[in-house]
């Protein structure tokens, strides 16, 4: 049975099912299809499925041409019918792992996916979890759900973890070229899961267990969270001293060893760095360990939207204006530049904090003509045109996202005040009257 699965993988006749067709699942599906596999994308959202069936992408950096090509070759289909899992040789889980109200892990999407697989699980299948989570989730949470069917791993099915490593908008790396870490709950699962990914991506890194693979992803995100918190804290400290943290970073990174540059901002965004470290801190508490670095980094990073709003208030005060009734334009809803991904974006909190202070707030983002509702926010707003005439009507412009469009000096002609959290606006002679860094 296992040998047959390996042969199907080697011959690219294995059918790959991917649960979740979002920022992780869709590019993964396309990579497997482009490698010659037949792929089925499962999703609960009929709008996504309908778009994919028409050959349309709802993720800008992927593009509809690529989706349309996969659909046209006849090897990629999307569906809301999870019964198709029975026909898949490998089933990959790419669903969200958010935090609850008290920053506790919410594994409901993972559990639901595992139950859907369990209803249709058959001998000879490989199941891989890709959703970022704490060490032990694959063998403690997913495996018991699957084995409740009476089938056992590795006798009847195989189970592994392989953390997603997407970086939307990064021109240097994509799903195929980013090394793929893979760890099974036991050696045979590792071997077959490695074979599957090796048939579609450039490099696969096998580790000794699913727990090592789960921990690897958390280390990557904790590393970034703590270092971003450090430069955010230094930003506030240096500002009090009249020192430009951006100039300090540029000088420090000339050192050819022992230093990696990180950059401050208005807070953390995306599905990984603001959330994943707390999966580890929550799990660590079960073992009587308190992850103080993670908690402190979270405290610093989550305070940044409040810091930005305080800088806006101070800048307006210096112009003899109050925040209340001032017209404020926030640039960018995306959590990072040049992509249409607004998950956990600090821009939403900045907008809401300004509104609570009585400001009349609008936003501008060419990637979001209409602000879409999310789990936490529903602005019910539309984007202001990205044009000089529109910008000049505001008392202050707040740069929250460094979209390349926002670097155009012409946009700031006639603008009196800019609060820049991304260091992209200069005090050009023809630009804004005053630039405050936050």
Residues in the chain: 438
Choosing from 301, 332, 363, the residue where a domain stops is 301
Q: Both ends of the chain: CA-CA distance in Å? A: 60
Per-residue pLDDT of the chain in tens (438 residues, 90 and over written 9): 788 999 999 999 999 999 999 999 999 999 999 999 999 999 999 999 999 999 999 988 898 999 999 999 999 999 999 999 999 999 999 999 998 888 889 999 999 999 999 999 999 999 999 999 999 999 999 999 999 999 999 999 999 999 999 887 788 888 999 999 999 999 999 999 999 999 999 999 999 999 999 999 999 999 999 999 999 999 999 999 999 999 999 999 999 999 999 999 999 887 778 888 889 998 999 999 999 999 999 999 999 999 999 999 999 999 999 999 999 999 999 999 999 999 999 999 999 999 999 999 999 999 999 998 877 788 899 999 999 999 999 999 999 999 999 999 889 988 999 999 999 997 665 556 789 999
Nearest to 87 by CA among 135, 45, 124, 35: 124
pLDDT score for 334: 95
**Does 245 share its domain with 340?**
no
Query: Are 371 and 348 contacting, i.e. CB atoms less than 8 angstroms apart?
Result: no
Sequence-ordered list of residues with C-beta below 8 angstroms from that of 157, at least 6 positions apart, any chain = 121, 122, 123, 124, 125, 126, 127, 146, 151
Please check whether residues 201 and 143 belong to one and the same domain.
yes
Residue from 296, 292, 272 nearest 219 by CA? 272
The answer on 418 and 372 residing in a single domain is yes
For residues 77 and 190, membership in a common domain is answered with yes
Please state the separation of Cα 312 from the chain's center in Å: 27
Residue 316 lies in a domain: yes
SS3 370: strand
- Report if residue 213 sits inside a domain: no
CA distance 294 to 284: 11
Structural domain includes residue 212: no
At 377 the pLDDT is: 81
From CA 20, how far away is CA 31, in angstroms rounded? 15
pLDDT score for 431: 59
Contact 245, 231 (CB under 8 A): yes
Kindly state whether residues 30 and 164 are assigned to the same domain.
yes
The pLDDT of residue 430 is 58
Q: Which of 236, 221, 226 has the alpha carbon at shortest distance from 266?
A: 236
Going from the C-alpha of 323 to that of each of 126, 317, 353, 356, 360, the distances in angstroms are 57, 8, 11, 10, 9
If asked whether residues 358 and 422 sit together in one domain, one would say yes
Instruction: Say if residue 351 is in the same domain as residue 433.
Output: yes
Pairing verdict, β 396-399 and 327-331: parallel
d(CA 54, CA 352): 37
Do 120 and 224 belong to one domain? no
Annotated catalytic, 88?
no
Are 378 and 302 in contact, with CB atoms under 8 Å apart?
no
Please report the pLDDT score of residue 381 as a whole number.
95
Query: Which of 311, 313, 336, 308 lies closest to 323 in space, CA to CA?
Result: 313
Task: Tell me, yes or no, whether 423 lies in a domain.
Answer: yes
C-alpha–C-alpha distance, residues 353 and 347, integer Å: 10
Catalytic residue among 153, 272, 364, 386: 272
Does residue 123 share a domain with residue 25?
A: yes
Across the beta sheet with 434-437, the strand order is 360-364, 327-331, 396-399, 417-420, 434-437
Same domain, 431 and 289: no
Say what the pLDDT of residue 33 is.
98
Alpha-carbon gap, residue 277 to 99, rounded angstroms: 11
Beta bridge partners of 306: none
All residues at 6 or more sequence positions from 429 whose CB lies less than 8 Å from its CB, including other chains: none
Cβ atoms of residues 228 and 267 within 8 Å = no
Residue 277: which CATH number?
1.10.1040.10
Q: Which of 357, 382, 364, 362 is nearest to 372 (CA)?
A: 382
274 SS3 class: coil
Q: What is the pTM of this model?
A: 0.92
Domain boundary pick from 186, 207, 228 = 207
The number of beta carbons lying within 10 Å of the beta carbon of residue 350 is 29
DSSP 373: P
**Are 42 and 79 spatial neighbours (Cβ–Cβ below 8 Å)?**
yes
Residue 19, strand partner residues: 42, 93
Q: With CA atoms as reference, report the closest residue to 201 among 28, 8, 75.
A: 28
* Shared domain check, 312 and 291: no
> The domain containing residue 125 runs over which residues?
2-207
Residue 173 and residue 158 share a domain = yes
pLDDT at 270: 79
Number of domains in the chain: 3
Residues 6+ apart with CB under 8 A from 397: 328, 329, 331, 391, 412, 415, 417, 418, 419, 432
Q: Are 266 and 400 in contact (CB under 8 A)?
A: yes
Q: At which of 145, 174, 207 does a domain end?
A: 207
Question: Do the Cβ atoms of 344 and 375 come closer than 8 Å?
Answer: no
CATH number, domain containing residue 426: 3.40.50.720
Q: Report how far residue 405's alpha carbon sits from residue 295's, in angstroms, rounded to the nearest whole number.
A: 35
What is the Cα–Cα distance from 151 to 59, expressed in whole angstroms?
Answer: 37
């Amino acid at each position: 049975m296992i040998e047959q699965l390996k042969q199907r993988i080697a011959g690219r006749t294995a059918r790959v099912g991917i649960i979740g067709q979002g920022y992780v699942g869709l590019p993964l599906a396309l990579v497997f299809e482009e490698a010659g596999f037949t792929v089925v994308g499962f999703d609960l959202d009929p709008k996504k499925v309908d778009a994919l069936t028409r050959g349309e992408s709802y993720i800008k950096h992927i593009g509809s041409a690529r989706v349309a090509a996969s659909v046209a070759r006849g090897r990629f289909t999307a569906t809301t019918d999870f019964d198709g899992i029975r026909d898949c040789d490998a089933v990959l889980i790419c669903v969200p792992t958010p935090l609850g109200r008290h920053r506790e892990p919410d594994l409901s999407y993972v559990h639901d996916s595992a139950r859907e697989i369990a209803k249709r699980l058959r001998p000879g299948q490989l199941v891989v979890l890709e959703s970022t989570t704490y060490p032990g989730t694959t063998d403690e949470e997913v495996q018991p759900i699957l084995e409740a069917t009476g089938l056992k791993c590795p006798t009847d099915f195989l189970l592994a973890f392989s953390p997603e490593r997407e970086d939307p908008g990064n021109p240097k790396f994509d799903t195929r070229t980013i090394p793929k870490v893979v760890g099974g709950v036991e050696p045979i699962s590792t071997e077959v899961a490695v074979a599957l990914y090796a048939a579609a991506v450039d490099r696969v890194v096998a580790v000794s267990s699913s727990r090592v693979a789960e921990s690897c992803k958390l280390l990557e995100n904790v590393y970034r969270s703590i270092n971003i918190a450090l430069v955010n804290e230094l930003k506030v400290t240096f500002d009090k001293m009249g020192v430009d943290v951006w100039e300090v970073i540029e000088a420090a990174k000339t050192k050819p060893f022992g230093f990696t540059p990180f950059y401050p901002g208005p807070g953390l965004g995306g599905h990984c760095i603001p959330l994943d470290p707390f999966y580890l801190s929550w799990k660590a508490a079960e073992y009587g360990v308190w992850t103080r670095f993670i908690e402190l980094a979270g405290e610093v990073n989550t305070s940044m939207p409040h810091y930005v709003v305080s800088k806006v208030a101070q800048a307006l005060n210096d112009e003899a204006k109050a925040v209340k009734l001032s017209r404020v334009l926030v640039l960018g809803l995306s959590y990072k530049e040049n992509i249409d991904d607004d998950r956990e974006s600090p821009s939403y909190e900045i907008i809401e904090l300004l509104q609570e202070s009585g400001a009349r707030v609008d936003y501008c983002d060419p990637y979001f003509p209409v602000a879409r509702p999310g789990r936490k926010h529903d602005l019910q707003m539309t984007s202001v045109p990205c044009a000089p005439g529109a910008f000049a009507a505001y008392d202050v412009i707040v740069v929250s996202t460094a979209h390349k469009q926002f670097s155009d000096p012409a946009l700031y002609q006639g603008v009196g005040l800019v609060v820049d959290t991304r260091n992209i606006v200069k005090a050009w002679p023809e630009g804004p009257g005053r630039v405050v860094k936050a």
